[in-house]
Amino acid sequence: MLNIHRTLLQRLLVSWVCISLVVGGAVSYFGIEKIDDQLMEIVMAESAKVSDVDLDVINNPVSDRGWLHQLTDGFMHDDFVVVEIYNRKGQKVVERVNPRFESIENHLKQFPHTFPLDGSTNYDRYKVEGQTVLQALVPLKDKERTVAGYLEGVFVIAPEVLARLRHELIVTLLIALCTVLLTTLVLYPVIISLNRNVIKFSNDLLKGNIELMAVLGGAIAKRDSDTNIHNYRVSIYAVRLAEAAGAGAETIRNLIAGAFLHDVGKIGISDNILLKPGKLTADEFQVMKTHVSLGMDILTKSNWLKTAHDVVEFHHEKFDGSGYLRGLKGEGIPLNARIFAIVDVFDALTSKRPYKEALPFDAAMAILRRDSGSHFDPRLIVAFEAIAQPLYREINDVPETLVEAKLQEIIRRYFFAGSSA
């Protein structure tokens, strides 16, 4: 299980970053919109100065429009680039350009605008010669509220305005980030406290499941060999070989479950076959093979036990395809089943049973090497040879309690490490 502190901190950090980005983006967007709105208010105020008389002059091609230059001169401010008035047909009637910004006006000519058909106000923002420029187009409406012309105003947003915006943005953003951070810090111990009982319950449930798995495996071992130590040893061998083969933690957890339950189907095999001291007849062996399908039937009753699936169903398959039940071959056999096949045979060879003596280590390894490529995965045999002798000395011919203690340490590491709050 993952460490709850690390997981929670990672998720809170991701949440803080995401919220901060959203808040920062919103602050930036609305800050810029605020500046745009202020400038649009200026344009709207200027457009309100245009009277109905002015609109008549604008739309009368024979009228004397000379005085309209005086009107547009009154619109000009220090930050105006240009002021233009159009008639209702979108034809330019008058234009006044601020001499200071003629180059900006020339640059903006490459961005021709269209007149809104619905008579709405619109604007665009550009970056020209290192300056932020706002181009606004406002409809001029007569007393019947119909569009009788358009006023275009182009502004340069003053550097001091941008500086103020930037300052306000930074301050607002820092306040927002600090607020989110403080909220995160407050939530952390609250969430940990709320999860402590849940974590304890989860650990107790997991512990109960593992104990149930061990008891069930032990019950089968009692029928077969009258001892639990085979399950303990073979589980340790399997984990060490899986580690040597580079298997991940989830794979190893499933392998431990499979090691305990690999022969669970033998519960359905009669004693006269299961405990027969001599060689089984062909018919008896066919019955014995059914323990695999019986084991799978048992696993289907529990989602937890299903994690042992690969070992229970496939640990009698052989690398050359001559095994049972499905005759799988090579890497078509699941990794956990290939691992378990090696350690199960090794422990059986090196263990004393009522019907046989234990083989010495070298003799057992010779058999594994002989069957490499036929029964066993050659790559895994090489990996097992590298770890087998010291591991054999560590757990063979030692009291069952010591072997069980070593296995419990492995279980704690793979199932419970870092799960406490």
The token duo for 256 is: 């431990």
The token duo for 216 is: 């069930």
For residues 142 and 223, state if they share a domain.
no
pLDDT of 62: 65
The token duo for 332 is: 């078509």
- Residue % of the chain over a pLDDT of 70: 82
Residue 157's CATH number: 3.30.450.20
For residues 156 and 272, state if they share a domain.
no
Domain boundary among 143, 164, 185: 164
pLDDT of 288: 93
pLDDT of 205: 62
For residues 37 and 139, state if they share a domain.
yes
In a domain, 408, yes or no: yes
Q: Which of 258, 370, 362 is nearest to 314 (CA)?
A: 258
For residues 212 and 338, state if they share a domain.
yes
Residue 259's CATH number: 1.10.3210.10
For residues 209 and 136, state if they share a domain.
no
For residues 251 and 323, state if they share a domain.
yes
pLDDT, mean of residues 70-80:
64
Domain boundary among 164, 190, 208: 164
pLDDT of 196: 66
63-72, 79-88, 277-286, 320-329: which has the minimum mean pLDDT? 63-72
The three-state secondary structure class of 323 is: coil
For residues 231 and 280, state if they share a domain.
yes
Q: In this predicted model, which residue has the larger pLDDT, 340 or 220?
A: 340
In a domain, 63, yes or no: yes
Q: Which of 240, 243, 238 is nearest to 338 (CA)?
A: 238
Q: Please, what is the angle between helix 229-244 and helix 378-395, to 10°? A: 130
Identity of residue 90: G
The token duo for 352 is: 């004393």
- Number of Cβ within 10 Å of residue 321's Cβ equals 14
Q: In this predicted model, which residue has the larger pLDDT, 39 or 269?
A: 269
* Cβ atoms of 55 and 148 closer than 8 Å: yes
The token duo for 353 is: 């049973």
Domain boundary among 138, 164, 190: 164
pLDDT of 248: 94
In a domain, 191, yes or no: no
What are the angstrom distances between the C-alpha of 147 and each of 11, 87, 323?
55, 9, 89
Cα 341 from Cα 328, distance rounded (Å) = 13
pLDDT of 195: 66
For residues 116 and 206, state if they share a domain.
no
For residues 25 and 151, state if they share a domain.
yes
Identity of residue 51: S
In a domain, 375, yes or no: yes
pLDDT, mean of residues 47-59:
70
In a domain, 183, yes or no: no
* Cβ atoms of 253 and 306 closer than 8 Å: no
In a domain, 172, yes or no: no
In a domain, 41, yes or no: yes
For residues 159 and 209, state if they share a domain.
no
- Residue % of the chain over a pLDDT of 90: 29
pLDDT band at 22, cuts 50/70/90?
confident
Please give the full DSSP string across 189-254, using - where no structure is assigned.
HHHHHHHHHHHHHHHHHHHHHHHHHHHHHHHHHHHHTS-SHHHHHHHHHHHHHHHHTT--HHHHHH
Number of domains in the chain: 2
For residues 296 and 230, state if they share a domain.
yes
Cα 176 from Cα 286, distance rounded (Å) = 72
pLDDT of 233: 92
Cα 381 from Cα 368, distance rounded (Å) = 7
What is the value of pTM for the model shown?
0.57
Q: In this predicted model, which residue has the larger pLDDT, 339 or 113?
A: 339
For residues 250 and 396, state if they share a domain.
yes
Cα 188 from Cα 376, distance rounded (Å) = 51
In a domain, 185, yes or no: no
Tell me the residue range of the domain where 155 lies: 4-164
